[in-house]
Amino acid sequence: MRNWALPENEGGKRSMKKATIVTTAGRHPRENHGIVNPPVYHASTVLYPSMAAHDKAEGAPFESVNYGRIGTPTTWAFEEAVAALEGGYRTVSLASGLNALTTAVLAFVKSGDHILVSDSVYGPLRRFCDEILARFGVETGYFDPLIGGGIARMLRQNTRLVATESPGSLSFEVQDIPAIAAAAHDAGALVMIDNTWSGGLYFQPFAHGVDISVQAATKYIVGHSDSMLGAVTAAREELWRPVKETAVKLGLCAGPDDCYLGLRGMRTLAVRLARHQENGLKLARWLQARPEVARVVHPALPQDPGHRLWQRDFTGASGLFAALLKPYPKPAVDALIDSLELFGLGYSWGGYESLIVPAHPERLRTAVPWQADGPYLRFHAGLEDSSDQIADLERGFAALAKAA
């Protein structure tokens, strides 16, 4: 009898392929009248049938439905699916990707602790560390994303956590996660990764030594630019519990409709990401051949400095990458962007649509300077036909030439 349910899926213990996991995990049709998708429970109050049931629930508040904020079957279905996708023990869902990153860090630090954060992490995580964690006596040090095992030199007795992101936000350096994890574990520190770029499909965090994997599910998991959602997945029970308890103590939770949209997005994640990858690579190769472009920054290109590590550790690439233009004045670059019809100008990524945005990694860096001799543009290759995407960029380069 088919029932795509826990416990078989839990922890990714089954040897199913990723494309199968994303279409089956978190589904319990037999518990829902045979209906394919789990229902959306909108809940605050949960009524107990008796005092005995009330008292029993008090002893294990996370294991049954007690209150909307703690979780409902909709929340759990989403969390179960993400845990299976990431290959971890269990997931905590949160209201955004940033919320997931900050909750994951908060769960493991106390006053007097030190954490190490890659210079290439998502900018708002740095702001949280520098402006909020610092107020509570947690010190943050930033490290070169390419440090690899050299991180051993920066680890202190009080280093509790090493925060990574691979490839890096905006700058796309591929990190040697197994080397970082080995050094961190030797020093008794935990390793967290922002795994959003891979969608959980193309990088297996726990197989590479990571303890906590975070995704901005807002991006590829939701996949349609219509919801904010985050997910923290832990390798083991003893790492999952502090994250869940921190979220509960802070009153954080993801909304039921967002969890549903996350689950719904997950069903097509494998096919969407394959197309994002294909379109991204076509665009990257096309951009490489353009005379206006100095360098394309995409780990799946053999010329990319991160290519060797990407090839070793990843099984694919998403649609997010960047290109460094030759030196052009700002008005010319503005004309390029303003002339585009398919590529929207906006933040975030991971939806079905193509995006372009000027990026400034140099404004964030403190460990190692990031240098660009020209305008730097981040691209998200959407699901449109790539010949239309290229025609749109051709229009952009014509506008650039005219305004230069």
Ligand X SMILES: Cc1ncc(COP(=O)(O)O)c(C=O)c1O
Please select the residue that binds ligand X; options are 38, 88, 178, 230, rule is CB under 6 A: 230
Q: How far is the CB of 96 from ligand X (least distance, A)?
A: 3
**Whole-number Å distance between alpha carbons of 403 and 271:** 39
Helix (H) or strand (E) holding 80: helix 73-86
Q: Could you say whether residue 231 binds ligand X (CB under 6 A)?
A: no
Q: Could you say whether residue 96 binds ligand X (CB under 6 A)?
A: yes
Distant-in-sequence, close-in-space partners of 89: CB < 8 Å, separation ≥ 6: 10, 11, 83, 233, 234, 235, 236, 237, 239, 240
Q: Which of 266, 261, 279 is nearest to 383 (CA)?
A: 279
**Whole-number Å distance between alpha carbons of 378 and 390:** 15
* Two tokens, residue 120: 């290439």
Q: Could you say whether residue 228 binds ligand X (CB under 6 A)?
A: yes
Please select the residue that binds ligand X; options are 83, 116, 216, 359, rule is CB under 6 A: 216
18, 27, 89, 122: which one is catalytic?
Answer: 122
Q: Does the annotation mark 122 as catalytic?
A: yes
* Cα angle for residues 23, 24, 29 (degrees, 5° grid): 125
Q: Could you say whether residue 122 binds ligand X (CB under 6 A)?
A: yes
69, 236, 290, 326: which one is catalytic?
Answer: 69
Q: Cα–chain-centroid distance for residue 332?
A: 33
113, 119, 176, 194: which one is catalytic?
Answer: 194
Strand order in the sheet with 212-216: 90-94, 230-234, 212-216, 190-194, 159-165, 114-118, 139-143
The contact pattern for ligand X, residues 330-349, with x = CB under 6 A and - = no contact, is: ------------------x-
Q: Which is nearer to ligand X, 66 or 99 (CB)?
A: 99
Q: Does the annotation mark 142 as catalytic?
A: no
Q: Which is nearer to ligand X, 21 or 192 (CB)?
A: 192
Please select the residue that binds ligand X; options are 91, 164, 218, 386, rule is CB under 6 A: 218
Active centre residues (catalytic): 69, 122, 194, 219
Q: For binding to ligand X (CB under 6 A), which residues are involved?
A: 96-98, 122, 169, 194, 196, 216, 218, 228, 230, 348
